[in-house]
């Protein structure tokens, strides 16, 4: 497996994102929502880097089966906390086409969030992105299949401390 982004590069970028998010959400009621399962590690590190009081919740939804999008959002686990009159920051591991993120932003807006922004660890450079870009991005990457730091292949490799490109074999 080839290392694409090292542990040190990830930690340095998280510190930088934490400062940006702290400044942006200063004096706002913030709820951080981790999109499970892939964003769990990234979200926990980002939350510790945000130097503000915040609420934390999780949301599980996907439009993927194996490595392809179905074009339909399936909600597996909903929010536990109310987001009405709060600013919501969605944390996700990777943005491909943006379909899942778009659907979740629409859903949370309908639930009365004051604002819904997104922060992703990885933003894939896909020629024809169908939906809007994330508000904050850890790293831009080529359209490769990556694992580690929460990202998986068949539920394996999530615990790697770096982002790697899986061998084709």
Positions marked catalytic:
96
CB-based burial, 104-127: b 16+ in 10 Å, e otherwise: bbebbeeeebeebbbbbbbbbeee
Question: At 159, is the secondary structure helix, strand, or coil?
Answer: coil
Determine contact, residues 119/89, Cβ cutoff 8 Å. yes
Question: What's the rounded Cα separation, in Å, for the pair 149 and 126?
Answer: 21
């Amino acid at each position: 497996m080839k290392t694409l982004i090292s542990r040190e590069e990830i930690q340095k970028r998280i510190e930088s994102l934490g400062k940006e998010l702290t400044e942006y959400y200063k004096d706002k009621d913030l709820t951080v929502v981790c999109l499970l399962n892939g964003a769990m590690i990234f979200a926990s590190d980002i939350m510790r880097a945000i130097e503000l009081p915040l609420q934390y919740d999780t949301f599980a939804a996907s439009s993927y089966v194996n490595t392809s999008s179905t074009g339909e959002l399936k909600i597996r686990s909903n929010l536990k906390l109310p987001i009405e009159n709060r600013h919501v920051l969605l944390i996700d591991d990777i943005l491909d086409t943006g379909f899942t993120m778009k659907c979740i932003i629409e859903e949370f807006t309908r639930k009365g969030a004051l604002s819904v922004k997104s922060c992703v660890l990885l933003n894939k450079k896909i020629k024809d992105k169908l939906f809007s870009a994330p508000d904050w991005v850890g790293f831009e990457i080529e359209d490769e299949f990556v694992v580690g730091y929460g990202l998986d292949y068949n539920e394996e490799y999530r615990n790697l401390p770096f982002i790697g490109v899986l061998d084709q074999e």
